[in-house]
Amino acid sequence: MYKRFSEMPTKFTYSQVVKDTITYVKEISDSNDDPIYPYILNQLKDIYREVITNNSIHEPEDIYDRYDIGAIGVRYFDENDEMHERLCDIFYGAVHYKELK
């Protein structure tokens, strides 16, 4: 069961949410032919690399320009769907990453 990032918004928690979601999306992608999942997976890996590991993307405008993962969460998944929650949390965390402790 997914625990919302907003319950403990730290860099460590955010990193765990992104890693867990990468694994979660890989599992879904392996059994689903929908092309949205590889696209989501690529964005998640890029967020992990550029926002978390390299800490190279800092400005919210850059996040908005580079990633549409939050919009995907809203557009393609129901509001109470776990994937919707994960993707929206990850986008929010990317935008606010530099503010996290």
Is 85 within the bounds of a domain? yes
pLDDT above 90 for 4: no
Which of 25, 27, 24 lies closest to 41 in space, CA to CA?
Answer: 25
Is 1 within the bounds of a domain? no
Residue 5: per-residue pLDDT? 78
First-to-last alpha carbon distance for the chain, in angstroms, is 24
Is 76 within the bounds of a domain? yes
The whole-model pTM stands at 0.91
Is 86 within the bounds of a domain? yes
For 5-71, the DSSP string reads: GGGS--HHHHHHHHHHHHHHHHHHHHT---THHHHHHHHHHHHIIIIIIS-----HHHHHHH--HHH
Residue 88: per-residue pLDDT? 96
Task: Give residue 57's domain range.
Answer: 8-99
Cα 21 from Cα 60, distance rounded (Å): 21
Cα 41 from Cα 43, distance rounded (Å): 5
Is 2 within the bounds of a domain? no
When divided into structural domains, the chain yields a total of 1
Query: For residue range 22-61, what is the model confidence (pLDDT) as tens digits?
Result: 999 999 999 999 999 999 999 999 999 999 999 998 899 9
